[in-house]
Amino acid sequence: MQGSTVDNKSQIAIASEQEAEQGHGHHEHPDFRMVGLYIFLISDSMTFIGFFAALLIYRAIMPVWPPEGMPEFELLIPIINTAILVASSFVMHEGQKSLKQNDVGGLQKYFGITAAMGAVFLAGQVYEYSHAEFGLTTNLLASCFYVLTGFHGLHVLTGVLLILCVLWRSREEGHYSASSHFGVEAAEIYWHFVDVIWLVLFVLVYLINN
């Protein structure tokens, strides 16, 4: 009996050491998921930079710009959309701040508001498309407009879906906490990226071509 007790204690000690080593190793390594996210965003930004560069090159080499017959862009909806998107980044950040205090309810509230603001942004874009006086093939500027705003709109839709995924998973008790929040942080970083891209797009597409 004594030998059995000693063996059990030895096994428990070995298991504890292994857990400690695993925990120590976990803290030594960075979170490669975040590294992957940043690499993805950098590569994604290259696509937008290519589109922006094409627009600026067209603007520089065309003898007449904007092309003849191209109506001026209506700015009211884009300005409202810009305000909504910029404000949504601050709202979303409040959600992450709430989670850092283990306030999952606050996370759900602010992320829910952000998702709604993203949906309003998309609705504004659909309204703008439906009332535009030009089509995709009208001229180079019109083509650039639809490609850039449409591609960005796809990113906004993706961001809204990511936020909804976070909200769905937050229903599980303990899934997100102050010490476990990769999904929340990744969704916020992606949303800020989409926000910054829109600000550049707003200037290059709407302002300098009117």
Give the model's confidence band at 69: pLDDT under 50 very low, under 70 low, under 90 confident, else very high.
Answer: confident
Q: Are residues 114 and 26 in the same domain?
A: no
Domain count for the chain, please give it: 2
Provide the percentage of residues in the chain whose pLDDT is more than 70: 86
Q: Are residues 23 and 82 in the same domain?
A: no
Q: Which residues contact 77 (CB under 8 A, 6 or more apart)?
A: 124, 125, 127, 128
Q: Are residues 17 and 49 in the same domain?
A: no
Asked whether residue 9 carries a pLDDT value surpassing 70, the answer given is no
Q: Are residues 90 and 176 in the same domain?
A: yes
Q: Are residues 65 and 110 in the same domain?
A: yes
What is the structure's pLDDT at 181? Answer: 79
Q: Are residues 45 and 86 in the same domain?
A: yes
Q: Are residues 110 and 40 in the same domain?
A: yes
Give the model's confidence band at 4: pLDDT under 50 very low, under 70 low, under 90 confident, else very high.
Answer: very low
What is the structure's pLDDT at 29? Answer: 59
What is the structure's pLDDT at 99? Answer: 87
Q: Are residues 98 and 155 in the same domain?
A: yes
CB atoms inside a 10 Å sphere around CB 161: 13
Q: Are residues 26 and 85 in the same domain?
A: no
Instruction: Output Rg (C-alpha) for the chain, integer angstroms.
Output: 25
- Comparison of pLDDT for 60 and 26, the residue scoring more: 60
Average pLDDT in the 172-190 region? 86
CB 128 within 8 A of CB 159: no
pLDDT in tens, 182-201: 889 999 999 999 999 999 99
Q: Which domain holds residue 55?
A: 31-207
Q: What is the CATH number of the domain that holds 199?
A: 1.20.120.80
Q: Are residues 158 and 197 in the same domain?
A: yes
Q: Are residues 116 and 21 in the same domain?
A: no
